[in-house]
């Protein structure tokens, strides 16, 4: 027998005796409404339905996490905003990928660029001052950015450079975590990207005396532009 069969046989043998229902309560005799986590929304922190409320909540959460969030009037403002960052932070080289928002905005920056749409050299990406990506969604409830290797130029672009800049559209702002996972399913169910992540603020650690330090291994800065 293979180890797989050995382990599964031990599991099946072990499960012959049923375990008591958790939480010191009797098992519901006829449960309705699907698996328990289907109701997650009603227990998680509340989110109001209107767009303005969700923008305000996202702004507050992102701010608490030391991420910067800007709601712009339109796509046209992007080049100027990015140029401003280029000047204030002295960017000399950027990493980015091909996308509806990224392509035009990054071309206007007129900087040496490492493109991660095709296989690239990690050492080259490591020398970039910023990684500019798109995303799949912004989540108001937690102030998170949802992105995948398909929507944001691979796995490393959003984590290796010291500054991660996210370009998002207004319609990408969603309310909460259950909606985020529903969106992933709707969008990718037939063929998931090999990597998907929820980014909640810039990289951080509290491993030394529980004192917050930003930029442990990933980006020290996270800037989100929503157009």
Partner 1 sequence: MSFVQEFKTQALRLTHDLRHRQLIQTALRKYEIVRDKSRAAFRDWQAARQAAAETKWEAINHLDKYLVEFTDKLAARGTKVHWASTASQARDIILGIIREKKARSIIKSKAMTSEEIHLNEALEHAGYEVVESDLGEFIVQLRHEAPYHIVFPAMHLSRGDISELFTRELGSAQTDNPEELTMIARRVLREKYVTADIGLTGANFAIAETGMISITENEGNARLTGSLPKVVISLLGIEKILPRLEDLALFLPMLAVSGTGQALTCYNSLYGGPRQPGESDGPEEYHVVLLDNRRTELLADAEQRDALHCIRCGACLNVCPIFRNVGGHTYGTTYSGPIGSVITPHLRGLQDWKHLSYASSLCGACTETCPVKIDLHHHLLQNRRNASNQKPSTLEKMAFKLFAFTVNRPGLYAFARGAGRIAQKLHSLVKRTRLDPAGGWTTTRDLPPIASQTFKEFWKTRNKS
The number of residues that bind partner 1 (CB under 8 A) is: 87
**DSSP assignment, residue 109?**
T
- Say whether residue 63 binds partner 1 (CB under 8 A): no
72 or 198, CB closer to partner 1? 198
State in angstroms the smallest separation of the CB of 105 from partner 1: 20
- Say whether residue 216 binds partner 1 (CB under 8 A): yes
Distances (CA, A) of 145 to 21, 99, 172: 36, 17, 10
Q: Hey, which residues between 159 and 198 contact partner 1 (CB under 8 A)?
A: 159-160, 176-178, 180-182, 184-185, 191-198
d(CA 1, CA 19): 28
- Say whether residue 33 binds partner 1 (CB under 8 A): no
- Say whether residue 103 binds partner 1 (CB under 8 A): no
Measured from the Cβ of residue 197, the count of other Cβ atoms closer than 10 Å reads 17
- Say whether residue 15 binds partner 1 (CB under 8 A): yes
d(CA 47, CA 60): 12
d(CA 46, CA 52): 15
d(CA 106, CA 102): 6
87 or 118, CB closer to partner 1? 118
- Say whether residue 12 binds partner 1 (CB under 8 A): yes
* Among the residue ranges 68-76, 85-93, 100-108, 211-219, the one whose residues contact partner 1 (CB under 8 A): 211-219
d(CA 127, CA 114): 9
State in angstroms the smallest separation of the CB of 154 from partner 1: 4
- Say whether residue 206 binds partner 1 (CB under 8 A): yes
d(CA 23, CA 83): 56
């Amino acid at each position: 027998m293979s180890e797989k069969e050995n382990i599964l046989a031990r599991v099946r043998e072990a499960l012959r005796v049923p375990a008591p229902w958790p939480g010191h309560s009797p098992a519901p005799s006829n449960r309705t409404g699907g698996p328990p986590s289907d109701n997650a929304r009603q227990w998680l922190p509340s989110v109001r339905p209107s767009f303005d409320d969700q923008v305000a909540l996202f702004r507050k959460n992102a701010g608490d996490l030391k991420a910067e969030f800007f709601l712009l009037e339109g796509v046209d403002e992007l080049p100027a905003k990015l140029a401003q960052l280029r000047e204030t932070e002295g960017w000399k080289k950027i990493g980015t990928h091909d996308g509806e928002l990224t392509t035009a905005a990054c071309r206007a920056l007129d900087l040496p660029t490492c493109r991660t749409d095709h296989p690239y050299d990690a050492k080259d990406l490591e020398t970039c001052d910023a990684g500019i990506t798109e995303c799949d969604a912004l989540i108001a409830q937690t102030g998170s950015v949802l992105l995948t290797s398909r929507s944001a130029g691979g796995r490393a672009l959003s984590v290796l450079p010291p500054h991660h800049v996210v370009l998002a559209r207004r319609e990408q702002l969603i309310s909460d975590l259950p909606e985020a996972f529903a969106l992933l399913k709707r969008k990718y169910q037939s063929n998931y990207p090999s990597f998907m992540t929820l980014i909640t603020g810039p990289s951080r650690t509290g491993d030394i005396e529980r004192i917050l330090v930003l930029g442990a291994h990933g980006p020290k800065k996270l800037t989100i532009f929503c157009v």
